[in-house]
């Protein structure tokens, strides 16, 4: 099932005038009914023209229904293809001038997207702007013994932290679906190879939820293999 609907456009903001400049937010998710509402609500509080596209990657819970209920664009994979393929599905469909990827279990801070948008629009030579994220332990679990929570904000994650010009992907192409993880390093390598500028901002844009089933923990072995493969390719590129 594929359904289409724009949210946070003229009916919810008075700043549009035209639809010439807006942000496409892509949320790749599988079985995200637990936290998806909070993520979407945090996006709907952003004071910018945007569309929210939820890519339902083979969920067997209420993910698609929740997204539809909030007026999001819903794209569905009948069978799970993985988060990287889900990003590409969203990327192929969206029409915004800028793209932001966000995980279903994270929460964007109020005003953050406006700050990212203002920054990138002020500098035409910049291809993307990158903010920081801050970890928080999901309230329902209390604590996570043996899990390291970074106490300070940090760069390095796509989720709700990197606003990218849509035209960038016309240059570097979509993400490689031969890997389940590591798309952040791959993306950074392609940006660098093509001389595209990423500006880091002194801003925390998103609170990153840490819980018992985070993708990074449940796919740690595959993640390390993919990172190693990408780093080898990056070294080859540098040598050339």
More confidently predicted of 182 and 73: 73
Residue that wins the pLDDT comparison between 136 and 65 = 65
* Ranges of H-type helices in the chain: 36-44, 63-69, 83-93, 112-122, 168-172, 183-193, 215-218, 220-239
pLDDT (tens digit per residue) in 85-104: 999 999 999 999 999 999 99
For the chain, the average pLDDT equals: 83
Lowest-confidence region among 33-42, 87-96, 151-160, 163-172: 151-160
Q: What angle do CA 41, 44, 45 make, to 5 degrees?
A: 90
- Report residue 185 as tokens: 């390093």
So what's the pLDDT on residue 48?
95
Question: Is the confidence at residue 240, as pLDDT, over 70?
Answer: no
For the domain 2-239, what is the CATH code? 3.90.550.10
How do the domains of the chain map onto residue ranges?
A: 2-239
pTM recorded for the entire structure: 0.81
Residue whose tokens read 């920081």: 132
Q: Which residues pair with 210 in a beta bridge?
A: 137
Q: What is the pLDDT of residue 141?
A: 76
Residue listed under structure tokens 């590591």: 182
At residue 57, what are phi and psi to the nearest 5 degrees? -90, 70
Edge-to-edge strand ranges of the sheet holding 107-108: 2-3, 73-77, 50-57, 23-29, 98-101, 162-165, 126-137, 197-210, 107-108
Taking Cα atoms as reference points, which of 155, 225, 222, 152 lies closest to residue 188? 155
- Of the pLDDT bands very low, low, confident and very high (cuts 50, 70, 90), residue 184 is confident
**Res. 58: pLDDT tops 50:** yes
Of 16 and 40, more confident? 40
User: Rounded distance, CA 130 to CA 116, Å?
Assistant: 8
């Amino acid at each position: 099932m594929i359904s289409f609907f724009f949210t946070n456009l003229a009916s919810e903001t008075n700043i549009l005038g035209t639809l010439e400049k807006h942000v496409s937010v892509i949320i790749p998710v599988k079985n995200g009914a637990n936290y998806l509402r909070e993520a979407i609500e945090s996006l709907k509080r952003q004071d910018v023209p945007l569309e929210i596209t939820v890519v339902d990657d083979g969920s067997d819970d209420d993910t698609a229904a929740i997204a539809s209920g909030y007026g999001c664009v819903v794209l569905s994979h009948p069978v799970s293809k993985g988060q990287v393929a889900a990003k590409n599905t969203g990327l192929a469909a969206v029409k915004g001038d800028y793209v932001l990827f966000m995980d279903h279990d994270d929460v964007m801070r109020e005003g953050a997207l406006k700050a990212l948008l203002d920054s990138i629009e002020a500098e035409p030579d910049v291809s993307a702007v990158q903010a920081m994220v801050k970890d928080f332990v999901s309230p329902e679990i209390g604590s996570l013994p043996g899990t390291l929570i970074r106490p300070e904000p940090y760069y390095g994650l796509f989720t709700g932290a990197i606003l990218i010009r849509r035209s960038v992907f016309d240059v570097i192409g979509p993400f490689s679906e031969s890997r389940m993880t590591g798309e952040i390093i791959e993306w950074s390598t392609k940006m660098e190879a093509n001389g595209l500028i990423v500006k880091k901002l002194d801003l925390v844009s998103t609170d990153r939820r840490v819980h018992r089933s985070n993708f990074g923990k449940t796919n740690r072995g595959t993640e390390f293999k993919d990172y190693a493969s990408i780093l080898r390719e990056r070294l080859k590129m540098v040598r050339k």
